[in-house]
Structure 1
Amino acid sequence: MREYTNLCGLDPHSEYVELAAEVFSLLADPTRVRIVLALHRDNELSVGDLAEIVDKAPSGVSQHLARLRMARVVTTRQDGTRVWYRLADEHVFKLVSEAVKQAEHTVSNGQIPPHHHNHPAADG
């Protein structure tokens, strides 16, 4: 088992531990979490579209997107004067999804959390 963890960075002494903490820090903002969820749902959105979805000013959303882009969480595509954003891969969505599921457990008060119901959108 230890050989496997060394190969993929899951060892407690892995060089990726600090970077993983930075990813969590980057995602420790509700607006960024909403952006990730919106991009996963809609695949590709402009700043204006995202601003409307997350109910924030376009300038603020733009700043959040700049941080996500610097961290290579989102990528862009230009179409004329409009810039379209999308998730770089599914990993960040999986992190956000698991965090939301954990939050559901935290507030479920012994009840079955929503993600455990048989909903088509639920991932487990």
Structure 2
Amino acid sequence: MQNVNSAKKAMLNERDFLFLAELFKALGDYTRVRILYALSVGELCVCALAEVLDMSQSAISHQLRLLRAARLVRYRKEGKNVFYSLDDNHVRNMVSQGLDHIREEG
């Protein structure tokens, strides 16, 4: 019964649950995870991401829009070039911890 009471007290508000579900939805796509992993190495422009992932620039751009909306990546402009990077260390940690989890034996 104590676990039930503790769980009830720990529950988030509806808004937080919705945002968390959206975050996991954004992470639940093969291409977006590949983009995040590539960006975990360092900042890249769309053309570089397209080359690394062997995809079209338009397909990469579409996925980057979704990742930006989920606040997982950010961008900066330098002249005509747009460079993307992970939004912050939380995103880098999610990618790293996800890999640690799937590689864990047992």
Same fold (TM over 0.5): yes
Work out the number of aligned pairs and report it. 96
Equivalent position amino acid for 2:74 in 1: T
Q: Distance in 1 between matches of 2:83 and 2:29?
A: 21
Question: Could you say which residue in structure 1 is the equivalent of 2:101?
Answer: 102
1:1-124 equivalences in 2 (<5 Å): 11-14=10-13, 15-42=15-42, 44-105=43-104, 108=105, 110=106
**Structure 2: unaligned runs, 5 residues or longer:** 1-9
User: Which is further off, 88-97 or 75-84?
Assistant: 88-97
* 3-state secondary structure, aligned to 1:56: coil
Q: After TM superposition, where is structure 1 displaced by more than 6 Å over at least 4 residues in a row?
A: none
User: Which is helix-richer, 1 or 2?
Assistant: 2
Which gives a bigger RCO, structure 1 or 2 (Cα 8 Å, sep 6+)?
2
| 1:46-96, Cα deviation, whole Å (9 max, x unpaired) | 001111112211110110001111222211111111111111111122222
Listed as ranges, the gaps of 5+ residues in structure 1 are: 1-10, 111-124
Give the TM-score of the pair, scaled to structure 1: 0.69
- Percent same amino acid among aligned pairs? 40
Whole-angstrom CA distance in 1 between matches of 2:54 and 2:71? 24
